[in-house]
Amino acid sequence: MTGTATKLGLMASALAMTLAAPAIAQDKPENLTIIAHRVHQTVATAEGNDITANWQAENGVGIEWVTLDTGALHERLFRELQLPETTIDIAFFLNTHAVESVTTLLEPLNAHQAANPVEDIEDIFPGLRDAMTFNDELYGIPFRHASSCFHYNARLLEEKGIEPPETMEELIEAARALTFERDDGTKVHGFLINGLGYANTVDLARAWNGDFITLDYEVATTGEGMMNAVQMLRDFYEEGVMPRNWAAIQDEEVNTWMQTGRAAMTTTSCGRNRIYNDPEKSEEAGNIKTVALPVAAAFKDQFDVAPAKVEFWTMVIPANSQNKDLAWDLVRTMASKESTLMAALNGNGPVRASTYDSPEMQEKLAYAADEKAVLLVGRVPLPPFDNAAKASDIFVEELQAAVLGMKPVADAMESVKTRVEPLLPQ
Amino acid sequence: MREGPTRRAGKLAALALIAIWSGLPILIVVLSSFKPPREILAFPPKLLFSPTFENYRALIVRWPEFFEALQSSLIVTTGATILTVVVTTLAGYVYARVRSRKLAASAFMMIVIRMVPPIVVTLPLFPVVNWLRLNDTHTVLILLYATFFVSLNTWIMKAFIDQIPVELEEAAIIDGAGVWQILRHVIVPLAAQGMIAASTFVLIFSWNEFLFAFIFTTTEAKTAPLILSEMVGAVDGVEWGVLFAAATLQLLPILIFVIAVQKYVIAGMTAGSLKG
């Protein structure tokens, strides 16, 4: 009888284990899925410097990266967030989409942070954390930033006997002096920025502490800063400092013109320094220097450098994802000090102040101190709100009209104010 | 009347202009894929250069997923083409040989479906496809691509089959052939030209399609156009050489196919145009 009972017991145990096995396996999935831009995967998983490798080995869980272009990524993410459940465990999320209404679709992170905290979270630049905090609840952990710097072709400056500008006024004069015709007949333009976006114009306005829309949702286009910036672009266009096709120039063209020496100076992401000085791609490799954007002389006592634009990506966990605790554990691993430094050495824009102080970082990045200086004073080019895309379209339309001389600068900026104000959150 | 030399020269010049207009961008892409990266966008442009396979090597090393995506494109394109050709040949035969009000209504419905912009049905389909667990599978793309080409290709096949004399089928019936035998031994061999023409349309569409692939795939069934889009959207600067190499590889199979079957494509486009 006892033998029979034992056999039955063993059989029951075996059956129970068989039935329970899938449930146990489900506790830890085979893979976590991350939806991201390819650049995130590249900087996180570079060969020999993979910030996720130890975590994968320790947890026995793989990582599946789904990479998409920026617009496509958010379009896909928002569709996934609407489903009853999603297979996405972690998503990379651009600051421009961080509006309060989206928080209902994301996992609140305060409880996770309390139970299993991200190492020294205070070390992450506060402006980046604050942008993902709504009603005191944190919804994303910053991972990557792209801050604007001032890039100039040192060879051309030296050729013309010009010192690197230290104020905005000097920059304007340098741009004029650097506009000339090369011996082969090619024109060199003293200054060039993207003509189809608003962000780099906001950078210029910040040299006078100006703005497009302030963080408290005031349209500031008629303020001194933006008026000066747009007038400067208008003058540059009229004088030929910027090319005639400026209104069609995109970031990729700016890169090409800097790489071929057809443009002498620009304002764009600090990280572009790498491609401007890449000997495989650039004819001006080694000549392009990157520093913080100079501030206007009148603001020298307020800022060391212009509070240029800072845009950033955060890691979020969808509210409808299935492995939230495990996803959080991976997020905190990827946000640790060590991971931040490793990713920075792989080419990421680090979100921790301490990373810039590390000797490895200072050795690798000639402009590390300048980038840190920008991060300490910089802010997003536009606060997030539902009509942000429409508002930026209006700004670009009026900006182009002003720069091309179709409208007086003051009228165009007044028109932006009138048209954008109704779009702002009330 | 003989053509004058001026008129002839004018025609040739117009043809040359059209050829340059259409072919030059493709030529630039292909040639640039063999240029060293820093010479691709050099100003003034460099027409003479030492060809290199560096961009192709970089493509293999940095974008291995591009080749998996090409494989996916091949599976989806082949599947959609076969499915469409089979379905539309059968449908075209019915429309060519059978007359009824219900069929006329269904033909009208097909035209209406063809007019619906794909995006209108795509987004509502997303949760349905998700629920059916068909997301990120080749099957969903094959079904969608075939669906959108059934109407056009059915009409192409109908036009071809209309030109096959009914008497041939009647003779086959007298010899004891059934419907399937008629289809297999009479219709299909004579409509083969139309089938090739019809397959070309769906093949080109499936190979290059972006929207459906973007919405319904994630990793497993990702097709090549999605990877090309990612290359263009690089935040740290587009690698033009790698992009042009990928574009050349993406272009090559379809270009070879279209050149090989171009006479059938023209036949397909003009099918039925001489009927009174």
Predicted confidence band of residue A423 (pLDDT cuts 50, 70, 90): very high
Q: For B37, which of A67, A146, A281 is closest by C-beta distance?
A: A281
Q: Do A260 and B237 touch (CB under 8 A)?
A: no
- Rounded Cα distance between A240 and A229, Å, is 16
Q: Which residues contact A193 (CB under 8 A, 6 or more apart)?
A: A200, A201, A203, A204, A233, A249, A254, A266, A267, A268
- Rounded Cα distance between B241 and B264, Å, is 35
| Token pair for A177 | 């002096």
Cα nearest neighbour of A273 on chain B: B236
List C-alpha distances in Å: B201 to A340, B153, B197, B205: 50, 8, 7, 6
pLDDT at position A18 is 41
Residue pLDDT, tens place only, A179-214? 999 988 889 999 999 999 999 999 999 999 999 999
Q: Do A37 and B235 touch (CB under 8 A)?
A: yes
Q: For A275, which of B214, B232, B237 is closest by C-beta distance?
A: B237
In this prediction the pTM is 0.80
Structural domains in chain B, CATH included, are: 63-269 (1.10.3720.10)
- Rounded Cα distance between A424 and A350, Å, is 31
Predicted confidence band of residue A26 (pLDDT cuts 50, 70, 90): very low
Does B219 contact chain A (CB < 8 Å)?
Answer: yes
The stretch A164-181 carries a mean pLDDT of 97
Q: Which residues contact B116 (CB under 8 A, 6 or more apart)?
A: none
pLDDT at position A106 is 96
Looking at the DSSP assignment, which residues form a beta bridge with residue A36?
A67
Residue pLDDT, tens place only, A243-293? 999 999 999 899 999 999 999 999 999 989 989 999 988 999 999 999 999
- Rounded Cα distance between A231 and A137, Å, is 41
Asked casually if ipTM beats, i.e. exceeds, 0.85, the reply is no
Q: Do B130 and A262 touch (CB under 8 A)?
A: no
H helix runs in chain B, sequence order: 5-32, 37-40, 54-62, 64-97, 101-115, 118-131, 138-162, 166-174, 179-182, 188-208, 211-216, 224-232, 240-270
Does B42 contact chain A (CB < 8 Å)?
Answer: yes
pLDDT at position B269 is 63
- Rounded Cα distance between A248 and A242, Å, is 12
Does B270 contact chain A (CB < 8 Å)?
Answer: no
Does A64 contact chain B (CB < 8 Å)?
Answer: yes
Radius of gyration of chain A (CA): 25
Among the listed residues A94, A169, A149, A166, the one whose alpha carbon sits nearest the alpha carbon of residue A309: A149
Structural domains in chain A, CATH included, are: 31-146+310-377 (3.40.190.10), 147-308+384-423 (3.40.190.10)
Q: Do A72 and B233 touch (CB under 8 A)?
A: yes
Structure-model confidence comparison of residues A400 and B119, the more confident one: A400
Say how far residue A396 (Cα) sits from the centre of its chain. 20
Do residues A377 and A386 make contact, with C-beta atoms less than 8 angstroms apart? no
Q: Do B44 and A186 touch (CB under 8 A)?
A: yes
The stretch A77-104 carries a mean pLDDT of 90
- Rounded Cα distance between B216 and B213, Å, is 5
Q: Do A69 and B126 touch (CB under 8 A)?
A: no
Does B253 contact chain A (CB < 8 Å)?
Answer: no
Residue pLDDT, tens place only, A299-344? 999 999 999 999 999 999 999 999 999 999 999 999 999 999 999 9
Per-residue pLDDT of chain B (276 residues; tens, 9 = 90+): 567 888 899 999 999 999 999 999 999 999 999 999 888 988 888 888 999 999 999 999 999 999 999 999 999 999 999 999 999 999 999 999 998 888 889 888 888 878 888 888 888 888 899 889 898 999 999 999 998 889 889 988 998 899 899 999 999 999 999 999 999 999 999 988 889 988 998 999 999 999 999 999 988 899 999 999 989 877 777 899 999 999 999 999 998 988 888 877 776 666 655 443
Does B238 contact chain A (CB < 8 Å)?
Answer: yes
Does A186 contact chain B (CB < 8 Å)?
Answer: yes
User: Which of A34, A40, A68, A189 is the best substitution to test chain B (most B C-beta atoms within 10 A)?
Assistant: A68
User: Which of A31, A41, A42, A69 is the best substitution to test chain B (most B C-beta atoms within 10 A)?
Assistant: A69
